[in-house]
Chains A and B, each alone.
Chain A
């Protein structure tokens, strides 16, 4: 069973702090990894994807990938109350089509 695991949270951080969200995956054949943000009652919104080892930065967001440890993380700098949402980590498997395996998500709460 190919799995993606995330802590369910909630992860509570003060406004302005760095939020660190983590994810592990079981299938070493996974090719790329995605972070989605999902507000309550809404559909997932793509934040960023990463497929090479190391860091990838986009504005206040940094994704980190360590394929040897099968570990993906998302850092959110200068967290804002509007970042309060569930963050979904997903792995895209090899195999010729765009099947994403999702974790159950981590709930982030940013308090003023």
Chain B
């Protein structure tokens, strides 16, 4: 039990639709990052939020966007869904933005795009 909770756990969307995934970070953790894990691959960093600001981004297009709220929970939004967006989306929280050595993942959200 990492204290990081994600919702929904599974969802199916149609190509072209939009999706919002949610994450509540572990108590006391002010930094949330999002990863995409395609089948058979390691997770890939999408972006990180620290105190409601995006402060790091991986190689993902602008249709991947996010928010962080004052209570440090976060959302990942994906617009114009493509078949290749089908993956496990992971949220990770850490105590701070730049020296975290305890980076815990939530249970993930499985997204299938048809």
Which positions in A face B, CB cutoff 8 Å? 4, 32, 34, 36, 42-46, 49, 51, 88, 90, 92, 95-105
Contacts and interface: CB of A to CB of B under 8 A. Distances in A.
A32 B104 CA distance: 15
**Residue in A44, A46, A95, A104 with the greatest tally of chain B CB atoms within 10 Å:** A44
Interface of B: 2, 31, 33, 35, 40-45, 48, 50, 55-56, 58, 88, 90, 92, 94, 97-98, 100-108
A46 B104 contact: yes
Nearest to B97: A97
A101 B45 contact: yes
Given A43-B90, A99-B58, 7 more contacts: A43-B105, A95-B56, A97-B48, A97-B50, A98-B48, A98-B97, A102-B44
**Residue in A4, A51, A101 with the greatest tally of chain B CB atoms within 10 Å:** A101
A48 to B, nearest CB: 10
B101 A90 contact: no
Nearest to B4: A43
Contacts, number: 73
Contacts of B94: 98
A20 B69 CA distance: 42
Q: Which 10 A-B pairs have the closest CB atoms?
A: A102-B42, A97-B56, A43-B108, A98-B100, A43-B105, A99-B45, A96-B98, A49-B101, A97-B48, A104-B42
A43 B106 CA distance: 7
B50 A34 contact: no
B56 A99 contact: yes
Contacts of B33: 97-99
Contact of B103 (A43, A96, A100): A100
